[in-house]
C-alpha cells in the first residue's frame, strides 16, 4: 500500500530546514583564487568525463591539499633604547698612552641593545615558549646630532634585517657590524661594550691627530680593545646609566625547525562512456530505492532521516530531503554491489592522507608517522523513480540507455575546499565530506561507495544522505583497487 506524503513537518524538521538554508553555497564561501591554490593543474586538465575520457592513461598521485603546522620554531628578539645626556665614569687613555685611567664623561646618548632567542614548541593544544639571553650591547656615543640620527637609522635597518638563525650566536652576529659602524663616524671616546652573560669586552674608539713636518694636520681613527676588570667596570657603569629606559622591540620572522605536514593525495581514473546501457548499470541492493518529485509549494528545503535497528547502519536508512526544489525520498539497505559493474562504467579515486614530521636545518629529515586512505567509487545508476505532486510513484517507461556526465573539476574542488576548512584531517572527515552532496554530480544519478582501510565499505545515493553497508566490500573494493593500481606508474 502506498502512503501519501504529508506536508506537515514536525519541529525537528523545521530546525533542520533553518540550518540547511543558513548554510552558504560552497562556491560562495572561498574566492576562486584559493581554489586554484588547493588543486594542481593536472586535475583541471581532466575536464568533464562523458565521452571524452582517455582510456588506458596512466594514473599519477596528485597533491590535493597540504597543511604545514610548526611544531618547533625560533624567533630572534631585539630590544633597544637609549638614555639622554648621561654622565658616567669610564676608562680613558692615560697620558702615558695606555688605557688604565678613569674619567667622568657626559654622552649625548647611551644605548642598550638586548638580544634574545625565543624557542616555541607546540605539544598538542599547548604552546610552550622559552627565552635564552644572547647578549647585551652597550654604546656610549659622543657623536654630533646628525651623526646620531644617521646611526639610529642604519642600526634600525640592520636589526630589522636579521634572521632568526642569526641568534644562534651571541649578539645575533652583529658584533663585527657594530665595530664597522662606529668606525665610520668621527669622534673620540666612543665606547662599545659586549656582554655575552659570561664575560664583558670593551672597545674604545679613538682619534689620533698628527702634524707633519710641513705643519699639516691629519686625523686617523682606531679602536682599542679592553678586557678584564677595566672593561667590566666601564660596562657596569654604562649598564647602570641605561637601566630603566623605554625600549623598542623588534621580532624577526619565526623560523620553523620542526613542522607537521598533513597531505592529501589523490590517485584517480575515470572510465565513463557518454551513455551506458540500462542493463549494464549496477543494481541497488535489495530493499534500497530512490524516488524524486516536485517539492511541495512554499517549502524551500528540509531534511529528515531515521535509521532502523541500532543506528549503526546494520539495517535500513530512510531519508526525505528537499534541495533546489526537488523532493527526494530514499531508502538504503545493506547488500552486495556487483564488482562486474566497475570496469568501463566508473570513476575511482584513492584519497591518501599522510601525516609526517619534517626536521629543517642543517640535517633535514622527514619521518612519516601515519598514512591512511579512502577509496571512492562512483557508479551511474538508473534515474530515480518519479513521484507525482502527492508523493506517489509514477509508472514511466525506462530508457534503454542512461547519459553519463561527471564534472570532475567541480567534484574534486568542492571536496578539497571543504577539507581545507576542517581542523581534523582524517578518513572519517573525508568520508563525511564526500557523502555531503559534493558538486559535479548533478547531471547523472550515482551510487557513491567509500571503501575504508579496515575492509568495510559504505554507499550513499546523492543527493540523499541515506547510506548503508556494502556486504561484499572485500570483493567490490578489491576489484576497484585492482583496476586503479593497474593504471598507476
* Beta-carbon contacts of residue 138 (< 8 Å; ≥ 6 apart): 110, 111, 112, 113, 191, 192, 193, 195, 235, 238, 239, 242
pLDDT of residue 35: 39
Q: CA-CA distances (angstroms) from residue 117 to 37, 114, 255?
A: 34, 10, 11
| 372: its cell numbers | 591512511
pLDDT of residue 466: 87
pLDDT of residue 355: 95
Q: Distance between CA 431 and CA 434 in Å, rounded?
A: 5
What is the Cβ-side half-sphere exposure of residue 177, based on CA atoms within 13 angstroms? 16
Q: What residues does each domain of the chain span?
A: 11-53+272-487, 71-257
For 101-107, the CB contacts below 8 A with 24+ separation are: 105/140, 105/142, 105/189, 107/140, 107/141, 107/142
pLDDT of residue 8: 34
Is 167 in contact with 115 (CB distance < 8 Å)?
Answer: yes
Mean pLDDT by 10 residues, the chain (489 residues): 34 31 43 39 37 53 92 95 92 78 90 96 89 95 89 93 93 91 73 91 77 68 80 92 90 94 94 87 90 75 64 69 83 93 92 95 92 95 85 81 89 92 91 88 88 95 89 96 87
| 391: its cell numbers | 508523493
Length of the chain: 489
pTM of the model: 0.70
DSSP bridge partners of 320: 304, 329
Q: What are phi and psi of 156, to 5 degrees?
A: -60, -45
| 179: its cell numbers | 665595530
Q: Distance between CA 448 and CA 435 in Å, rounded?
A: 8
Amino acid at each position: 500500500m502506498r502512503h501519501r506524503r504529508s506536508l506537515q513537518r514536525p519541529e525537528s524538521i523545521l530546525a533542520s530546514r533553518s540550518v540547511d538554508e543558513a548554510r552558504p553555497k560552497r562556491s560562495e564561501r572561498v574566492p576562486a583564487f584559493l581554489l586554484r591554490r588547493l588543486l594542481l593543474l593536472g586535475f583541471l586538465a581532466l575536464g568533464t568525463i562523458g565521452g571524452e575520457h582517455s582510456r588506458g592513461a596512466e594514473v599519477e598521485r596528485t597533491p590535493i591539499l597540504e597543511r604545514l603546522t610548526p611544531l618547533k620554531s625560533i624567533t630572534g628578539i631585539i630590544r633597544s633604547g637609549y638614555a639622554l645626556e648621561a654622565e658616567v665614569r669610564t676608562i680613558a687613555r692615560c697620558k702615558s698612552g695606555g688605557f688604565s685611567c678613569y674619567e667622568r664623561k657626559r654622552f649625548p646618548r647611551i644605548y642598550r641593545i638586548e638580544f634574545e632567542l625565543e624557542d616555541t614548541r607546540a605539544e598538542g593544544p599547548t604552546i610552550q615558549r622559552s627565552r635564552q639571553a644572547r647578549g647585551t650591547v652597550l654604546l656610549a656615543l659622543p657623536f654630533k646630532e646628525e651623526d646620531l640620527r644617521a646611526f639610529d637609522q642604519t642600526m634600525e635597518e640592520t636589526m630589522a634585517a636579521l634572521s632568526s638563525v642569526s641568534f644562534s650566536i651571541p649578539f645575533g652576529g652583529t658584533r663585527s657590524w657594530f665595530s664597522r659602524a662606529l668606525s665610520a663616524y668621527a669622534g673620540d671616546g666612543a665606547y662599545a661594550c659586549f656582554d655575552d652573560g659570561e664575560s664583558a669586552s670593551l672597545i674604545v674608539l679613538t682619534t689620533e691627530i698628527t702634524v707633519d713636518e710641513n705643519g699639516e694636520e691629519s686625523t686617523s681613527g682606531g679602536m682599542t680593545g679592553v678586557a678584564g676588570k677595566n672593561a667590566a667596570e666601564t660596562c657596569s657603569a654604562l649598564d647602570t646609566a641605561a637601566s630603566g629606559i623605554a625600549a623598542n622591540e623588534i621580532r624577526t620572522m619565526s623560523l620553523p625547525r620542526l613542522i607537521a605536514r598533513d597531505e592529501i593525495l589523490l590517485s584517480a581514473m575515470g572510465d565513463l562512456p557518454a551513455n551506458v546501457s540500462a542493463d549494464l548499470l549496477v543494481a541497488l541492493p535489495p530493499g534500497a530505492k530512490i524516488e524524486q518529485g516536485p517539492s511541495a509549494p512554499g517549502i524551500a528545503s528540509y531534511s529528515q532521516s531515521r535509521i532502523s535497528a541500532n543506528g549503526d547502519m546494520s539495517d535500513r536508512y530512510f531519508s526525505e530531503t528537499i534541495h533546489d526544489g526537488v523532493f527526494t525520498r530514499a531508502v538504503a539497505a545493506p547488500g552486495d554491489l556487483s564488482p562486474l559493474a566497475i570496469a568501463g562504467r566508473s570513476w575511482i579515486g584513492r584519497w591518501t592522507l599522510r601525516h609526517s614530521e619534517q626536521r629543517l636545518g642543517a640535517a633535514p629529515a622527514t619521518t612519516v608517522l601515519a598514512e591512511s586512505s579512502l577509496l571512492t567509487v562512483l557508479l551511474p545508476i538508473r534515474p530515480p523513480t518519479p513521484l507525482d505532486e502527492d508523493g506517489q510513484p509514477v509508472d514511466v517507461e525506462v530508457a534503454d540507455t542512461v547519459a553519463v556526465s561527471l564534472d570532475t573539476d567541480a567534484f574534486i574542488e568542492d571536496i578539497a575546499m571543504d577539507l581545507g576548512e576542517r581542523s581534523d584531517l582524517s578518513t572519517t572527515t573525508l568520508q563525511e565530506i564526500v557523502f555531503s552532496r559534493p558538486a559535479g554530480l548533478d547531471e547523472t544519478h550515482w551510487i557513491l561507495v567509500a571503501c575504508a582501510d579496515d575492509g568495510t565499505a559504505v554507499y550513499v545515493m546523492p543527493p540523499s544522505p541515506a547510506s548503508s553497508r556494502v556486504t561484499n566490500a572485500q570483493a567490490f573494493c578489491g576489484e576497484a583497487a585492482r583496476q586503479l593500481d593497474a593504471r598507476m606508474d
